Amino acid sequence: MELNEAKQKFIEAWGKLGSEWGINRTMAQIHALLLISPDALTTEEIMETLSISRGNANMTLRDLIGWGLIEKQHRAGERKEYFYADKDTWNIARQVAKERRKRELDPVLKVLDEISKVEGDLKDPEFATFYKSVTDINKLAKNVDKTLDTMLKAEESWFWGSIFKMFK
């Protein structure tokens, strides 16, 4: 396989994975493109490489900055903005985990806590089943939350080292 073909495949695969996980395709693709670029790229270059419009490129780049995955760079004597992706995979994973926790897990935990408060008679199967499912899910969600918390603070090698002790 040739390098440019491989790059193309990587961008496609990353875009597809992103869309299956609720991250839009363009966002994942721009991120992929920047990940494999040694230098920062301009909006123009990104538009051209991925065949997307200026508006789309601009908005998606801002989203990526919002996710903490890329940053703007300025060059002396130039007006153009250049975009550069953090290449540290562990940082990327943490950043994504952090954002999704904030946007999705936190609100769900809030709802679960709220609806866990509903009172009723455990002799009533309707109530008992509802209550058990909700509190079980709440427990699982809290465990996930705590684990993410650890992960966010952790060094990569320590984190995976600890995980792999589980295999023994």
User: Which residue's CB is nearer to DNA, number 16 or number 153?
Assistant: 16
Q: In what order do the strands lie in the sheet with 81-85?
A: 41-42, 81-85, 70-74
Is 78 a binding residue for a second copy by CB under 8 A? The answer is no
Among 53, 80, 108, 113, binds a second copy (CB under 8 A): 108
Between the CA of residue 103 and those of 39, 62, 95, 98, 107, what are the distances in Å?
Answer: 31, 17, 12, 9, 7
- Of the two residues 30 and 159, which places its CB atom closer to DNA in the complex? 30
What is the x/- site pattern for DNA, positions 70-109, by CB under 7 A? --------xxxx----------------------------
70 φ/ψ sector (left φ>0, alpha ψ -120 to 50, else beta) = beta
Q: Which is nearer to a second copy, 44 or 106 (CB)?
A: 106
Q: Which residues contact 58 (CB under 8 A, 6 or more apart)?
A: 43
The minimum distance between CB 79 and a second copy, in angstroms, equals 25
Residue 104's binding partner out of a second copy, DNA, none, with CB under 5 to 8 Å set by partner kind: a second copy
Q: What is the x/- site pattern for DNA, positions 25-44, by CB under 7 A?
A: xx---------------xxx
